[in-house]
Amino acid sequence: MKRAGLLGLAGVAGAAWMMSVSACSKPVEISLSTVGNTMAYSTSALTVHAGQTVHLTLKNAATDPTMSHNWALVRPGTQASVEAEAQKAGEAAGFIPLVADVLAHTPQVKPGQTGDVTFPAPPPGTYPYLCTNPGHAQSMKGVLTVAP
């Protein structure tokens, strides 16, 4: 009887551990929006933990039909080169260059619409994010801090 009781407790403990692992594997949800018809994100600082699955939703709050935006997470120190490559990629590619320095990105999001991306958080550090549309990155930028 004692043995069965111990096995039962081990089963309960194992189930609790599995539940906690499952809870940890749920993506962290981040909602980001643009600020009206300006070239700005609603926040310039985001934080996640290394290894988390991140689901980011970008809502374009603009009403001006020319104000499409995107969100791109890039390797530190590569913002200028990613911007230059985005120009080369052009509108047909959503101004998202196919380069290794772009770690994650949303699609091009038209005014009044949303776009999203799910990605694994990179190793601990600080990573810039920006809108890669021409001329937007000067004010549409921020930093994703990845904690251990």
pLDDT per residue as tens digits for the range 3-50 = 344 333 333 333 332 333 334 568 999 999 999 999 999 999 999 999
- The string of pLDDT tens digits covering residues 121-142 is 999 999 999 999 999 999 999 9
Provide the whole-model pTM.
0.82
The whole-angstrom separation of Cα 36 and Cα 84 is: 26
Q: In what order do the strands lie in the sheet with 102-105?
A: 45-49, 141-147, 125-130, 72-74, 102-105
